Amino acid sequence: MGLFVFLPLVLPLTAWPIARLAEQHLHPRTATRLLTGVAGVMAMCSTVCLGLVMVVGTAQLPGNPLPDGWSDPEVREAVPYDEVVGKAAIPALCAVVVACGRTLWRHGRVRRRAHRALAGLPGTQVAVLPDEVPYAYALPGGRRGRVVVTTALLDCLEPAERRALFAHERAHLAARHHRFLLAVQLAARANPFLRPLRTAVSYTTERWADEEAAQAVGSRRTVACAIGRAALVSRGTPVATLAGLAAPGPVPRRVAALLGPAPLMRSWPSVFTSVGLAAWGAAAGTAVSAMSSANSAVTMFFILYAATPL
Amino acid sequence: MAEHRQRPRRRGQGELEAQVLSVLREADGPATAGWVQERLGGDLAYTTVITILTRLLAKGAVTRERAGRSFAWTAASDQAGLAARKMRRLLDAESDREAVLASFLTGLGPDDERLLRELLEQSRSEGED
């Protein structure tokens, strides 16, 4: 398998251009699905390869529970630089497993605690909380999820803008955006090179919900005003931590996108544009990643099978 | 007769219910009947407090949940406020909630506010044209 086993660890870099370009050039729905798919496959491949390298590293350790044959020189030669890489892979894979486990556990805990907080209220889909901090979000789970919004946020919006807000949150629930967000979050934990995809997907899911809301209320301008007004009212409150550093933050970009023309629903961009090139680059990277991890897994299987005394 | 005059004035049912309800509203979260009795001044029997709470429950003015072997009571009109407080505590405690709660808003960066005002201004003038 040679150097192939390392490819899936660095191939996520091929997805960086599309993570940057998809925001502006693809329909948010296409972008979300594409980026989440790419991130998921690449994360799995890179974890598989890390696991394969770890087997070699673990077999070198004295007193390991693996069969003795697995530490044969032939097995070690399957992985280049086995001394260093094999041992480095052990803590790396442990870190990945712990980080992913923690993410899943936290996800479950936030959901459980939020549902418990709302338990005393009537079981309507929208829960209005009397609070002077303006915030709103979609809480997945339960029969069809709930929309949580505070009176402070509702008070600062016009009736049409309130409809836009509810349509936005309902779109999150209907399209199950939390699954995309969880998938890219796990992927970013599995391979840090996938972090830009997580940032991109958390933006494109918001854009997706914005576009759905614009269709539901029939006015892109109303949705833009609702977002802008709500953002200006809630500035200074610790609602989230995603503010951009130098580039404009996600909120002005969303408003600007809504004030511009509606995105076109194309199935796949042409190769001859920069976004097409980036998308094909990411697709090729994903394919190579999948192939080399499959190739490495099969090779490793046969080497270990041959080395195991039966 | 003299005995009668020394006993505390008999309070009307509505008055007692209102008192129990106001005590419950002061509570920071669900409260037990014993706590309510204590806060009422202690001249009411425990069973009386339970009776009043049960009557309020039938009217939908309070809710209760099991807490061990007894019930914890909450004023119904305060449920929303209680939920709001719990939710705030949750949001303040969880720094990494983005994966679960796709929120309507994210924070504004230093230049975002000015940019946002310009965009909204622009859209307003275009809307008027």
Confidence of residue A235 (pLDDT cuts 50, 70, 90): low
The contacts of residue B106 (CB under 8 Å, 6+ apart) are A206, A239, A240, A242, A243, A249, A250, A251
Look at B117 and A29; give whichever has higher pLDDT.
A29
CB-facing half-sphere around the CA of B85: CA atoms within 13 A: 10
Which residue in chain A is spatially nearest to B96 when comparing CA positions?
Answer: A106
What value of ipTM does the predicted structure carry?
Answer: 0.74
| Average pLDDT value for residue range A229-252 | 57
Give contacts of B 1-40 with A, CB under 8 A.
none
Least CB–CB distance from A255: residue in B99, B109, B119: B119
Least CB–CB distance from B80: residue in A113, A121, A134: A121
B66 touches chain A (CB under 8 A): no
Whether A139 sits inside 8 A of B127 (CB atoms) is: no
A244 touches chain B (CB under 8 A): yes
> Average pLDDT over chain A, rounded to whole?
85
Whether B102 sits inside 8 A of A249 (CB atoms) is: no
Say yes or no to pLDDT of B81 above 70. Answer: yes
Residue pLDDT, tens place only, A264-283: 776 666 777 888 888 888 88
Rounded Cα distance between A224 and A125, Å, is 24
Least CB–CB distance from A120: residue in B79, B91, B123: B79
A138 touches chain B (CB under 8 A): yes
SS (H, E, C) chain B: CHHHHHCCCCCCHHHHHHHHHHHHHHCCCCEEHHHHHHHCCCCCCHHHHHHHHHHHHHHCCEEEEEECCEEEEEEHHHHHHHHHHHHHHHHHHCCCCCCCCEECCCCCCCCHHHHHHHHHHHHHHHHHC
Confidence of residue A213 (pLDDT cuts 50, 70, 90): very high
Confidence of residue A184 (pLDDT cuts 50, 70, 90): very high
Least CB–CB distance from A235: residue in B101, B113, B127: B113
Least CB–CB distance from A117: residue in B83, B117, B127: B83
Give the ranges where chain A is alpha helix by DSSP (H).
7-10, 16-25, 28-60, 73-77, 82-117, 151-155, 159-174, 177-190, 195-217, 220-233, 250-259, 274-307
Measured between beta carbons, the chain B residues lying within 8 angstroms of A231 are 105, 108, 112, 116
Among candidates A59, A51, A63, which has minimal Cα distance to A89?
A51
Least confident of A40-54, A226-240, B17-31: A226-240
Residue pLDDT, tens place only, A185-194: 999 999 999 9
Say yes or no to pLDDT of A35 above 90. Answer: yes
Rounded Cα distance between A96 and A50, Å, is 10
Quote the percentage of chain A above a pLDDT of 90.
33
Domain ranges for chain B, please list them: 2-79
The region, left, alpha or beta by phi > 0 then psi within -120 to 50, assigned to residue A146 is beta
Say yes or no to pLDDT of A243 above 50. Answer: no
Helix (H) or strand (E) holding A136: strand A136-139
Q: Which pLDDT score, from 0 to 100, does residue A236 have?
A: 47
Quote the percentage of chain A above a pLDDT of 70.
93
Least CB–CB distance from A135: residue in B74, B105, B109: B105
Whether B106 sits inside 8 A of A232 (CB atoms) is: no
Two tokens, residue A41: 């496959």
Residue pLDDT, tens place only, B98-116: 545 666 666 676 677 888 8
The edge-to-edge listing of strands for the beta sheet with A126-129 is A126-129, A146-150, A136-139, B102-103
Give contacts of A 260-299 with B, CB under 8 A.
none
Whether A252 sits inside 8 A of B116 (CB atoms) is: yes
Residue pLDDT, tens place only, A106-164: 888 888 888 888 887 777 888 888 888 888 888 888 777 888 888 888 888 889 999 99
Give contacts of A 33-62 with B, CB under 8 A.
none
In chain B the first and final C-alpha atoms are separated, in Å, by: 86
Instruction: Give domain B2-79's CATH architecture.
Output: Orthogonal Bundle (1.10)
Residue pLDDT, tens place only, B24-54: 888 877 888 888 888 887 678 888 889 988 8
Closest Cα of chain A to B43: distance in Å? 31
Residue pLDDT, tens place only, A47-106: 999 998 888 888 877 777 777 777 777 777 777 777 788 888 999 999 999 999 999 998
Measured between beta carbons, the chain A residues lying within 8 angstroms of B115 are 248, 252
Q: Which pLDDT score, from 0 to 100, does residue A2 have?
A: 74
Rounded Cα distance between A73 and A56, Å, is 10
Least confident of A35-39, A126-130, B87-91: B87-91
Whether A137 sits inside 8 A of B79 (CB atoms) is: no
Q: Which pLDDT score, from 0 to 100, does residue A97 have?
A: 96
Measured between beta carbons, the chain B residues lying within 8 angstroms of A242 are 98, 106-107
Rounded Cα distance between A297 and A51, Å, is 9
Q: Which pLDDT score, from 0 to 100, does residue B129 have?
A: 53
Confidence of residue A310 (pLDDT cuts 50, 70, 90): low
